[in-house]
Amino acid sequence: MRTIIPALTLLVIISACNKEIDKELVKKEIFSSEKAFEAMALEKGRVEAFFYFADENAVIKRGNELISGKENIRKYYESQPDDSSSLSWTPDFIDVSDCGTLGYTYGTFILKTRDEKGALVESTGVFHTIWKKQDDGTWKYVWD
């Protein structure tokens, strides 16, 4: 009996990843999550957006610092100066795992800020995000 339960558990896990998935549909789900994340960042601010879309164990890299965990990500963004900057981005590439539970995106972002004289300053860069499908079917990032 002790070996049957682990064997059945393993069989369920393996069969769950062996079902055929529509990768294009999953890519669209991830794209929609990216755009909802971006919209929230613009409407409610980065604190709320980066907290809401984070997996409980998410990690972000800012400069040379790694910030681990959803609550620590919130604290990091809350500690940043409150400014009128805006952040926008769009994925240039999306791919998903064969079982459809992980995906990644990369693309470009634009950060618009104002300097001390009030002039608009635009900074651009590249982002890379790893997404994990949650038990409720939503997508949360595990790396940004």
Half-sphere exposure of 39 (CA within 13 A, CB side): 6
Q: Which tops the pLDDT comparison, 82 or 15? A: 82
- The first and second tokens of residue 135, run together, are 């038990």
Over 70: is that where the pLDDT of 36 sits? yes
38-87 pLDDT tens trace = 999 999 999 999 999 999 999 999 999 999 999 999 999 999 876 678 99
Measured between alpha carbons, how far is 86 from 127 in angstroms, rounded to an integer? 15
> What pLDDT score does 5 carry?
54
Averaged pLDDT score across all residues of the chain: 89
With residue 58 as reference, give the H or E element that holds it: strand 54-62
> What pLDDT score does 18 carry?
59
Measured between alpha carbons, how far is 75 from 4 in angstroms, rounded to an integer? 45
> What pLDDT score does 16 carry?
54
Which domains does the chain show, CATH number per domain? 22-143 (3.10.450.50)
* Cβ neighbour number for residue 102 with a 10 Å cutoff: 17
Sign of CA dihedral 42, 46, 49, 53: positive
| Percentage with pLDDT > 90 across the chain | 75
